Amino acid sequence: MVRGGGITYALHVEFPLGRPLGKPNDPVFQTQVLMAAFSLLDEPSGPVLVDYPEVIEDESAEALTCTVSPRFNPDLHPAADEAKGLLHAYTRTVERLGTTSVGRAVAPEHLDQVIEAMIRIAQGTPMGDAGIPGGDVLAAAMDIRTYYEEAAQSLVDHVPGARQVDTWLYQETEVGKVLHAAQKALHDAEVPRPQWFFLMPLNQSHIEG
C-alpha cells in the first residue's frame, strides 16, 4: 500500500503470509507484482484497491519432507538427540547466509539447554523450576523453531512452502512432540495464557482456544 497526492493505492495479493511478492527465487514473477503495484499510481482518483489476478495457496497442511539423521546417542532424550543430529545442516545454512536468528534465549551452541528445559516442562516440572535460559519460555520456544527452520533449509533442494517447515517441525519431529507436551503441561498448570498459547503457531496447536 502506498499514498501519493492524498490518494491511497493498494494492491491486494492472495499469497502466503510472509511472501508479499509471491514466489521465492522468481524475479520475473516478483517484478510483475511490483509493476502491478506501481501501475496503480496512474489512476486519477481513489482510493484505489485492486486484486492481483493470481492466487498462490499456502502448502501448510503438507509437511516438508526432511530426512532427519538417525539416533546417535540412545542415552539422550529422542528430542535432544534429534536436535543434535541437525547441527551440521543448521551450520551449513548459517555459513551460507552468514547469519542466524537463533539467540533470543541462548547462543546457538547452547540450544541443548533450551531443549532440555522444554523436556522437563513436558515431563511435569513447573515452568519456574525447569531452568529455562533467561526465564523466557516463549523466547526459548522461538529459538527451537528457528533452529529447525534454518536446519531445514539445508535438508531440501528447493524453497519450501511458507508454512511447510512449521508442519514438519510440530507434527513430525521428536522436538515437536515435546513442544506439544510442554504446551499442554503449561495449559494444565494454569500459567498465564500467553505463556502457553504462543508457544507454537495457533494452526499447529492441539489445544482448543
Residue 139: per-residue pLDDT:
96
DSSP secondary structure code for residue 135 in this structure? G
**pTM > 0.85:** no
- Structure confidence at residue 79 (pLDDT): 95
Phi and psi of 2, rounded to 5°? -135, 160
**What is the pLDDT tens value at each position of the chain, 209 positions in all?**
555 556 688 888 887 766 788 877 788 989 998 999 888 888 877 788 899 998 877 655 555 566 666 667 889 999 999 999 999 999 999 999 999 999 999 999 999 999 999 999 999 999 999 999 989 999 999 999 999 999 988 887 666 665 788 888 999 899 999 999 999 999 999 999 999 999 999 989 999 76
Side-chain half-sphere of 206: how many Cα atoms within 13 Å? 12
Which residue type does 140 have?
A: A
pLDDT of residue 24: 73
Cα–Cα distance for residue pair 78/204, rounded to 1 Å? 21
Q: Which amino acid is at 190?
A: E
Question: Which helix (DSSP H) or strand (DSSP E) does residue 54 occupy?
Answer: strand 48-55
Predicted confidence at residue 66, as pLDDT, reads 63
Predicted local confidence at residue 32, as pLDDT? 92
Scanning the structure block, which residue is given the C-alpha cell 532424550?
Answer: 77
